[in-house]
Amino acid sequence: MRALLLALICGALPLAAHARLEVVATLPDLAALAREVGGDAVAVTALVDPNEDPHYVDPKPSLVLPLNRADLLIVNGLELEVGWLPPLQVAARNGNIQTGADGYFDASSVVDRLNVPGGKVDRAQGDIHPGGNPHFVFDPRAAARIATALGDRMARLDPTHAEQYRANAKALHDRLDDLAERERARFAALPAAQRQVVIYHDSLPYLADWLGLTPVAFVEPRPGIPPTPPHVAKVLQRMKKAEARVILQEAFYPKKTSETLARLAGGRVVVLEGGARFGAGDTYSARITRVAEAIHAALSR
């Protein structure tokens, strides 16, 4: 019995010299990028489910375990994870991944930020992020820059595979830039009036910027504040006036209001996937292509 117990405990001990770089990413999109850059030299874990609102993640103690083993933690940054990640980071007892360490990679540090508030940030404006809008994984141009920076960071942490990381990162960067340009051109071929959209939560400025979409209204009156009847009535009026037909939202927001607005304005709702289905082997390129495809199909109907 005692031998069995000992075997169990020893079997569970992490191997002292694990061969692969242990990478933990908060968002499944970032995890998918890390896997493409790292290839078979890294083991990647995503903390957030693709259908989960990354603002509101239950800080389950089980999430401490991958963080405890991690050589590299990839966060989105701009306070997207501030509601749940910091206590997990402390509980992980892992100096490698503390904020500022080499094994802490903040993706927002390498992208061009949008919606950076000027002047004082006041919460009467809703739940806004003082450093800028954090939802840049919707833009493959941002993802391309993240891939390159990740390649450099992995090379620094694991010099034996440095060449492989940098080569993978370069190839991924180029693929994402091509994809971004191809889709941008395809959307640009649509008339500007047809590229008007309504967005549920102000989480898609990067997507709008990439694909040349013009948001005419948000279903939420202010970020994080649920819609009210007078506000929704105004949204409908604006949709009708601008002849915007398409409402974009992420899967974790409620859909009835958007569906009703779409019906009354003679349009449709496009529900965007929250992230790559990382656990099922999905790639970032595949997921972002599906997003662009779904929006293009809705706009051209």
Torsion of CA 133, 284, 262, 198, to 10 degrees: 30
Measured from the CB atom, the residue of 156 and 182 that comes closer to other proteins is 156
Angle between helices 28-38 and 284-300 (to 10 degrees): 130
Alpha carbon of residue 153 to chain centroid: 19
Q: How far is the CB of 180 from other proteins (least distance, A)?
A: 26
Q: How far is the CB of 39 from other proteins (least distance, A)?
A: 26
Length of the chain counted residue by residue: 301
Structure tokens that stand for 276 in this block: 């790559």
Measured from the CB atom, the residue of 20 and 238 that comes closer to other proteins is 238
Measured from the CB atom, the residue of 132 and 151 that comes closer to other proteins is 132
Angle between helices 162-188 and 284-300 (to 10 degrees): 0
Measured from the CB atom, the residue of 64 and 213 that comes closer to other proteins is 64
Q: Which residues bind other proteins (CB under 8 A)?
A: 9, 12-14, 49, 51-53, 55-62, 64-65, 68, 78-79, 82-87, 90-91, 93-96, 98-101, 121, 123, 126-127, 129-131, 224-230, 232-234, 236-237, 251-257, 259-261, 263-264
Q: How far is the CB of 165 from other proteins (least distance, A)?
A: 25
Q: In sequence order, what DSSP letters do the residues of 224-248 get, joined into one string?
A: TBPP-HHHHHHHHHHHHHHT--EEE
Q: How far is the CB of 174 from other proteins (least distance, A)?
A: 30
Q: How far is the CB of 173 from other proteins (least distance, A)?
A: 26
Is residue 45 a contact partner of residue 26, using CB atoms and an 8 Å limit?
no
Measured from the CB atom, the residue of 189 and 280 that comes closer to other proteins is 280
